[in-house]
Amino acid sequence: MRGSPQKSSGSTASRAYDRKKSRSRERERTLTLAGQDIAPCPPPKDLARRAKADGDFRFFCESYFPKLFTLPWSDDHLRVIRKIERAVLHCETFAVAMPRGSGKTTLCQTAVLWAILTGKHPFVFLVASTQEYALSMLGNIKSHLSTSDRLLDDYPEAIYPIRSLEGESRRCSGQRYYGRLTYIGWTADEIVMPTIPGSRCAGAIVRVSGITGNIRGAMFIRPDGSSVRPTLAIIDDPQTDQSARSLSQTQERLAIVNGAIAGLSGPGKRTAMIMPCTVIRAGDLADQVLNREKNPLWQGERTKLVYAFPKNEKLWEEYARIRAESLRNDGDGHEATEFYAQRRAAMDEGALIAWRERYNTDELSAVQHAMNLKFRNEAAFWAEYQNEPLPEKTLEDEGLLTPDQIASKLNGHKRGEVPIGCNHLTMFIDVQGKLLFYCICGWEDDFTGYVLDYGAYPEQKRAYFTLREAQRTLQSVAKGAGLEGAIYAGLESLAIEHLGREWRRDDGAMMRVGLCLVDANWGTSTDVVYQFCRQSQYSAVLMPSHGRFVGAGSKPFSDYVRRPGERVGLNWRIPGVQGKRAVRHVVFDANYWKSFVHSRLSVAMGDRGCLSLFGRDPDSHRLFADHLASEYRVRTEGRGRVVDEWRLRPEVRDNHWLDGLTGCAVAGAIQGVSLLGSCAAAQNRPARVKLSSLRRKKPT
């Protein structure tokens, strides 16, 4: 009984302590909420300036970013500003190429701020050539929003909540305005503007991505449950030096621009698109978009630094000599500037410069600045400042067909249809770690050839792809298998699909592939390829192959001594069975046979030995043609002979179908196909003599 009062006293003390802790927590919560609440928001300072900026993009740039646009506008600038304004206001499409340093990217980033702050677009998507560059663009916009005092003065409902974060993005989740969350977002790849009553940009989004990133289907779900999709896309320099030199990558990025990006706003709505770009080479993405004949929708503007060059070339040649001499002797080129100052009128005659205020402090005029850029690097000057790149050494200069010419060399036959003249079908499988690339050809006896089919396994279901970016791979199809197991399974699937079928010829005859070569050079796949060729149910027509680089300094195939049991042909040989692999293989001179294939592609349609592609649509062969044009040849002399040495172009990633077509030609030669044709070969052979005739023949 004595313990009960003590227990009651303890319980009372415990409850009192709990109430105290609860009051303390409530007080701290109230203080925290009060600290998170940023109300009230200051009013705009200059409503008249803000109202004028709402409808005038040029005025917006000049009023709020005087430190970015310090020089007077050129006529080109004013024209581009009007086009950007129209694109934002009326959801138009506009592409512009300006000289490097003209501020085209800065203008477009400023257009993002104008579109968001004035409520013209609720969702802006920034797209760049790479994710890293896209993030740097967003960083610039964040910097303007968080540091511009002029924007704070006139757009406080948008800027004041951002300033209140004080650079701490973790404060976003708790920020309130009169007790209600602002739902502000400030992540690495996205900005969500604060929701403040009366704000025109409440909940507006700016998101970024590289052009090959996740663009399609972009959407943002707001706290009230409504969804919003991008209505303005800024596509800043969407190509790299590498992609500009690849036909497949150019077409892939152009398809993304005209497909995924153009459709961002959803069905029944137009997406405003602005593309500041640089022409890297003729025919690249920028060059195509700026071409008003081919792409009038983009209303392309191609501005230049110099519209007319000075007439007195001799004076400028002397100027260049003086300047170069000064720089070679550790000078600063002031002697050339003095030379120009004394003859300025004569040296400026005939020059028409787009931006007269553009020149450096050690230069006297925009004309001198432009000529200095030209003398420094003429190729870069024409590409970066004139948007007219100098012609590169082309495939035609090397005596080779371009991808466009290859893709257009069509015979009109349906895919998989064998022309009536074909007596031999061959196949080649190029083995890679992620994919298998295959090619199937039909051959007449005189090496007139037809590409019947080609593809990759697993099928990518895309018109343009690279091996590195393959989405469906061998291991993703062969679940649970290792690398070698996935390759084996892929080879088996291709063999069943193509070696196990019959191919119909024009005259109704049914044919099968007579020989299929399998590349046994890739990585660790050699043993797997030999095992497959030995164990497959189609082993009779399967053979591992090894393409060898036989350069001018290498021993040519013709110098090899034929051993017993070997088969030897034109720059190919099949050694006898050696070692534990117990299956014959073929070794061939890859350089010779690549030259052979390109020679066949160059033969005119209808002539003997011509090689052509199926179908009637060149666009369907763009990627295949890109592979065939992926290498260039170097004529090299050694050992008293001149040979072609084939090398992969530095800007190209894949050449697998070139290897495939080359392998098909080698397989054709093994099958007995010859440029002379079977009839000519038969005529050159001596007539058969019966043994009985020899016995009856009397000795002389």
Give per-residue pLDDT as tens, 190-202.
999 999 998 999 9
Structure tokens at 43: 């009013």
What is the CATH T-level fold of the domain 403-683, as seen in this structure? Nucleotidyltransferase; domain 5 (3.30.420)
Q: What is the pLDDT averaged over residues 535-551?
A: 93
Mean pLDDT of the chain: 88
Query: Phi, psi (5° rounding) for residue 589?
Result: -80, 100
Element (H, E) at 417: none
pLDDT value at position 358? 94
Mean pLDDT check: name the lowest of 217-221, 319-323, 623-627. 217-221
Topology agreement, domain 47-302 and domain 403-683: no
pLDDT value at position 393? 55
The strand ranges marked E within 241-375 are 272-277, 301-302, 306-308, 352-353
Residue 127 scores a pLDDT above 90: yes
List Cβ<8 Å contacts ≥24 apart for 262-269: 262/93, 263/216, 264/125, 264/215, 264/218, 264/229, 264/230, 264/231, 264/233, 265/229, 265/230, 265/231, 266/229, 269/229, 269/231
pLDDT value at position 252? 85
Q: What is the pLDDT averaged over residues 611-616?
A: 95
Residue 678 scores a pLDDT above 80: no
Residue 62 scores a pLDDT above 90: yes
Gap between the Cα atoms of 333 and 323, Å rounded: 5
Give the residue, 235 or 524, on which the prediction is more confident. Answer: 235
Residue 27 scores a pLDDT above 70: no
pLDDT value at position 167? 86
Gap between the Cα atoms of 668 and 182, Å rounded: 71
- pTM of this structure: 0.63
Domain extents in the chain: 47-302, 306-385, 403-683
Beta-ladder partners of 210: 128
Structure tokens at 676: 């002379």
Residue type, 686: P
Q: Distances from the Cα of 530 to the Cαs of 324, 403, 458, 526, 579, in angstroms?
A: 62, 34, 21, 6, 12
**Any idea what the Cα angle at residue 69 is, between residues 63 and 72, rounded to 5°?**
100
pLDDT value at position 610? 95
pLDDT tens digits along 266-318: 888 899 999 999 888 878 899 999 988 888 889 999 999 999 999 999 999 99
Gap between the Cα atoms of 63 and 554, Å rounded: 70
Give the residue, 288 or 578, on which the prediction is more confident. Answer: 288
- Please say whether the dihedral angle defined by the alpha carbons of residues 206, 210, 211 and 214, taken in this order, is positive or negative: negative
Mean pLDDT check: name the lowest of 21-30, 383-392, 472-481, 551-560. 21-30
Residue 568 burial (CB count, 10 A): 15
Residue 612 burial (CB count, 10 A): 21
pLDDT value at position 639? 66
Gap between the Cα atoms of 473 and 480, Å rounded: 13
pLDDT value at position 650? 66
pLDDT value at position 665? 97
Q: What is the pLDDT averaged over residues 237-265?
A: 86
Percent of the chain with pLDDT over 70: 91
pLDDT value at position 696? 52
pLDDT value at position 681? 38
Q: What is the pLDDT averaged over residues 85-101?
A: 94
Q: For residue 410, how far is the Cα from the chain centroid?
A: 26
Element (H, E) at 95: strand 93-97
What is the CATH T-level fold of the domain 47-302, as seen in this structure? Rossmann fold (3.40.50)
Residue 537 is classified by DSSP as T
Residue 502 scores a pLDDT above 50: yes
Beta-ladder partners of 641: 638
Residue 14 burial (CB count, 10 A): 10
